[in-house]
């Protein structure tokens, strides 16, 4: 029996959730945007009516308002979007137990063995659309294929443009249906890679598919081979109950509410980021050996900043150890120009069960355990229940961030 895989995508998800709440705005163009008075004033989601006016995700709010003077703007409510996403998962799991979240508004499903209960793939897709729309007032589009790659391309390139929002991309039809499309429509191609391919006269998906795979692999390595396989509709990855296969790194970053000029202010936020990264690392029961610091300058016209890393003598998830090395990177590479964004990450992850003992620092194991104990308090009473003294300074962002999910208010 051939596999039947769905990619279920929610149309304008954030905007649809907001429209379901504000029914009076159903026939008005609506966007979800961050605070226009701060750097977060960009479009996170636009409803179909707003998109018809030329508004795109990622553009500045003031630009969108110029295109559409009667635009309705609402702030993001991330907790509500997460709750809706989980409700959608429950609906999908009523059809099959093989559901894999791909993003907050996209999920893969394996409905191969659900057909005896729910009918043909098209019947199942219509059933899912009806259930999601009737319960959450959100429209779903469904891409259908024999594997995840075909389902994803069916959804992105065809289902989203059809009135019924359903398209079945069959493997034996990809030469006539998929290959004539521009190379940018290939799953995982990306803008930069598409430019590289176009410079090699590979302008369509079919051009890539007809190119010798050894030539592609020699030029772009494994990534090139994966793209070539995607062009042929080949994908061996199953729909997994787990959406991740292990982390290569753990990081956290933020855009500052204003330009930070002083080193003392920057280091307050830097300490808070290191605290959050180490807390996430401890939650994953791992330690990291390489700390990376990224900084972006305040000017939009002249790009400044750096992205540097430093390998520590041994793996750690102790906040002050990571902070000490992050400060070294800041002191070495910061050009003393105002900054608007910081990012800290830990890579080279290893299990926290194997800790290197140090005869010269006998208290280190107690420091490690202290981190886990403070995490228990924070987990029980909230992120602001236990903070460092530095977070009482005006430059601190810890209370502001505690009220947010993914950088946006809950």
Residue 336 region by backbone torsions, left for phi larger than 0, else alpha for psi between -120 and 50, else beta: left
Residues making up the annotated binding site for Mg(2+) are: 9, 105
Distance CA 408, CA 410 (A): 6
Task: Report CA 327 to chain centroid distance, whole Å.
Answer: 27
Task: Give the Cα separation of 259 and 280 in Å (integer).
Answer: 27
Nearest by Cα to 289 from 279, 281, 297:
281
β-strand partners of 204: 182
Using CA atoms, how far residue 117 sits from 122, 144, 224, in Å, is 13, 18, 40
Pairing mode, if any, of strands 5-10 and 106-110?
Answer: antiparallel
- The whole-angstrom separation of Cα 375 and Cα 279 is 7
Question: What is the rounded CA–CA span in Å between residue 105 and residue 194?
Answer: 25
Report the candidate in 161, 162, 144 with the shortest Cα–Cα distance to residue 153: 144
Residue 63 falls in the annotated catalytic set: no
Binding residues: 9, 105
Taking the C-alpha atoms of residue 217 and residue 225, their distance in angstroms, rounded to an integer, is: 5
Q: Which of 18, 100, 106, 146 is catalytic?
A: 106
Q: Which residues are catalytic?
A: 106
């Amino acid at each position: 029996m051939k596999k039947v895989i769905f990619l279920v995508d929610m149309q304008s998800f954030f905007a649809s959730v907001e429209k379901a709440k504000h029914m009076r705005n159903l026939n008005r163009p609506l966007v979800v945007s961050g605070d226009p008075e701060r750097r977060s004033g960009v479009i996170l989601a636009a409803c179909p009516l707003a998109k018809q006016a030329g508004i795109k995700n990622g553009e500045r709010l003031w630009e969108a308002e110029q295109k559409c003077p009667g635009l309705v703007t609402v702030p993001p409510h991330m907790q509500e979007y997460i709750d809706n996403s989980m409700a959608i998962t429950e609906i999908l799991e009523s059809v099959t137990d093989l559901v894999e979240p791909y993003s907050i508004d996209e999920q893969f499903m394996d409905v191969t063995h659900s057909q005896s209960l729910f009918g043909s793939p098209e019947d199942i897709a219509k059933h899912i659309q009806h259930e999601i729309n009737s319960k959450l007032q959100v429209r779903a589009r469904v891409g259908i294929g024999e594997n995840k790659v075909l389902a994803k391309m069916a959804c992105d390139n065809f289902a989203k443009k059809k009135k019924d929002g359903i398209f079945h991309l069959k493997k034996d039809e990809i030469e006539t249906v998929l290959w004539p499309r521009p190379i940018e429509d290939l799953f995982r191609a990306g803008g930069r890679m598409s430019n590289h391919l176009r410079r090699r006269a590979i302008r369509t998906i079919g051009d890539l598919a007809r190119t010798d795979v050894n030539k592609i692999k020699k030029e772009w390595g494994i990534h090139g081979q994966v793209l070539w396989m995607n062009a042929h509709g080949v994908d061996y990855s199953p729909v997994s109950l787990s959406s991740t296969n292990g982390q290569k790194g753990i990081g956290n970053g933020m855009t500052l509410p204003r330009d930070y000029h002083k080193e003392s202010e920057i280091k307050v936020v830097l300490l808070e980021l290191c605290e959050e990264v180490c807390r996430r690392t401890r939650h994953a029961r791992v330690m990291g050996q390489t700390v990376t610091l990224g900084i972006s300058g305040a000017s939009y016209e002249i790009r400044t900043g750096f992205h540097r890393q430093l390998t520590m003598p041994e793996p750690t998830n102790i906040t002050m150890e990571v902070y000490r090395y992050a400060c070294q990177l800041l002191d070495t590479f910061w050009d003393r120009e105002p900054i608007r964004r910081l990012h800290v990450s830990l890579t080279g992850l290893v299990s926290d069960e194997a800790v290197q003992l140090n005869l010269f620092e006998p208290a280190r194991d107690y420091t490690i355990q202290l981190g886990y104990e403070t995490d228990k308090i924070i987990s029980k009473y909230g992120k602001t229940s236990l903070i460092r003294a530095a977070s009482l300074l005006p430059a601190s962002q810890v209370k502001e961030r505690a009220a947010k999910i993914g950088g946006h208010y809950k």
